[in-house]
Amino acid sequence: MKLAIYGAGGLGREVRQLACAINARQHRWDRLFFIDDIHPQRMLDGTPVTDLASAQGVDAVEVVIAVGEPALRARLSAKIRAAGLSFATLVHPDVMLPDSTSLGEGVVICRHAFISCDCVIEHNVYLQPHCCLGHDCQIGEHTIISPGVMLGGECCIGRRVFIGMNASVKEKVRIGHNVIISMGAALFNDVQDGLIALGNPARIIRRNEDEKVFRPAGLRRSR
């Protein structure tokens, strides 16, 4: 089996490290390579980079998405399905997953993530290091949970959500789809679809109209 890492940036290199850690414990993949549709046909950290069309010609390959924009994760997921390729789920060997965990395909769970009992983690979710999911949390498709995020029990997080580093979410809070919660936010109340919230206590600042988390420094919007 081969593993294709869709995304050849910083997150892609981190996923490569995770895959190597998994392989060191149990040999799952004979070969790793990156997919980058914009800058293929090169080497990155000694690993080949190709495009999706070329990956379709590889026998026994599964794909994991390694980009940090939830909306882009959703688009790439649709491309992978259309190409007839399967998804890989990567869980660091040191992570203890309760038997009651429901895990979708294409999920990435990094080292030092904590998942309590009866959590539902849907397709293509990315859980970064030192995040904490309380009991009975639900995480929707294509969502990114950043390092240090703390979710209280019974939180319900929608699809294509980005929760920034060290944010805290009170138990039983519901976050809608296409939402951005800024780093360091303290969220005490529900957030409806398509909004951006920041601060402590978190407040809504505007709509998430372009569904984009990261921007070059010169293009950041003023509030």
- pLDDT tens across 11-50, in order? 999 999 999 999 999 999 999 999 999 999 899 999 999 9
* CA-based max dimension of the chain: 51
Do 66 and 116 lie in a common domain?
Answer: no
Do 73 and 94 lie in a common domain?
Answer: no
Question: Residue 65 in contact with residue 81, Cβ under 8 Å?
Answer: no
- What is the reported pLDDT for 217? 59
Query: Which residue in this structure is represented by tokens 């293509």?
Result: 124
Tell me which residue range forms the domain holding 60: 2-88
Residue 132 CA to residue 75 CA, distance in Å, equals 27
On whether residue 217 sits in a domain, the answer given is: no
Domain total in the chain: 2
What CATH number did the domain enclosing 157 receive? 2.160.10.10
On whether residue 210 sits in a domain, the answer given is: no
Domain boundary among 88, 115, 150: 88
- Whether residue 142 lies in the annotated active site: no
- pLDDT tens across 164-223, in order? 999 999 999 999 999 999 999 999 999 999 999 999 999 999 999 999 999 765 545 544
Do 12 and 46 lie in a common domain?
Answer: yes
Q: How many CB atoms lie within 10 A of CB 201?
A: 11
Domain boundary among 88, 109, 129: 88
68 is in an annotated binding site: yes
On whether residue 209 sits in a domain, the answer given is: no
Q: Which two tokens stand for residue 139?
A: 């995480």
Residue in 92, 112, 123, 135 annotated catalytic: 135
On whether residue 165 sits in a domain, the answer given is: yes
Do 47 and 110 lie in a common domain?
Answer: no
Q: What residues contact 164, with CB distance under 8 A and at least 6 apart?
A: 146, 149, 180, 181, 182, 183, 184, 185
Query: Which phi and psi angles does 151 have, rounded to 5°?
Result: -110, 125
Question: Residue 167 in contact with residue 180, Cβ under 8 Å?
Answer: no
On whether residue 138 sits in a domain, the answer given is: yes
